[in-house]
């Protein structure tokens, strides 16, 4: 599975990362890369972060690799949205796009991809990081949390009519389980 993250969207939707961005854009980017590298170390998915370079970026698209994460800076005059859309057109494997931008989310849904909101992914990475030991050596799967969640669901009484989730919500929930 490949995870594509709309970089600045993720930074601005996260309370934690937004604090770093107040110092500088570079501090925000570095904090996001560090956070995602911890996630990648645990999960092993291929992760690509796309940043806007449309206002003051280079004339050509630039690619970089840091801590096992592919980083793409869009060229001047092009937004990260366009880069993500291009990647969706030539996708070769299952893709999950992390963004809260409705325009990109609709495009990805129409192309058969899955979208996870930046807030949901931030909460997922936050839970993962808080469960990590200080040494960051080996990270054990958080199966103890899954058992508690199942027990809580079994003990909860259902009230009112049942409601079905939309296809988009079901796809997003399935992608979150894989993440």
Q: How far apart are CA 53 and CA 78, in angstroms?
A: 7
Question: Would you give the DSSP letter of residue 55?
Answer: T
Q: What confidence score (pLDDT) does residue 8 get?
A: 92
pTM for this prediction: 0.74
**How many domains does the chain fold into?**
1
Length of the chain, in residues: 179
HEC secondary structure over 76-136: CCCCHHHHHHHHHHCCCCCEEEECCCHHHHHHHHHCCCEEECHHHHHHHHHHHHHCCCCCC
Query: For the chain, first and last CA: distance in Å?
Result: 9
Q: What confidence score (pLDDT) does residue 49 get?
A: 94
pLDDT tens figures, 76-124? 888 888 999 998 888 778 889 999 999 999 999 888 889 999 999 999 9
Question: Would you give the DSSP letter of residue 132?
Answer: S
* Highest mean predicted confidence (pLDDT) among 112-121, 133-142, 160-169: 112-121
Residue 125 belongs to domain spanning: 2-178
pLDDT at 149 over 60: no
Q: How far apart are CA 148 and CA 132, in angstroms?
A: 18
pLDDT tens figures, 82-93? 999 998 888 778
């Amino acid at each position: 599975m490949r995870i594509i993250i709309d970089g600045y969207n993720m930074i601005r939707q996260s309370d934690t990362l937004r604090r770093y961005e107040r110092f500088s854009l570079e501090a925000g980017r570095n904090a996001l890369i560090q956070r995602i590298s911890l996630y990648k170390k645990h999960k092993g998915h291929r992760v690509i972060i796309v940043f806007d370079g449309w206002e003051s970026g280079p004339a050509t698209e630039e690619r970089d690799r840091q801590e096992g994460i592919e980083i793409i800076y869009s060229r001047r005059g092009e937004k990260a949205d366009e880069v993500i859309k291009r990647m969706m057109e030539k996708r070769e494997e299952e893709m999950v796009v992390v963004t809260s931008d409705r325009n990109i989310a609709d495009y990805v849904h129409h192309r058969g991809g899955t979208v996870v909101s930046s807030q949901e992914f931030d909460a997922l990475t936050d839970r993962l990081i808080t469960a990590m030991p200080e040494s960051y050596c080996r990270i054990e799967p958080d199966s103890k949390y899954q058992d508690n969640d199942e027990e809580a669901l079994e003990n909860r009484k259902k009230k009112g009519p049942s409601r079905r989730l939309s296809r988009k919500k079901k796809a997003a929930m399935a992608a979150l389980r894989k993440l």
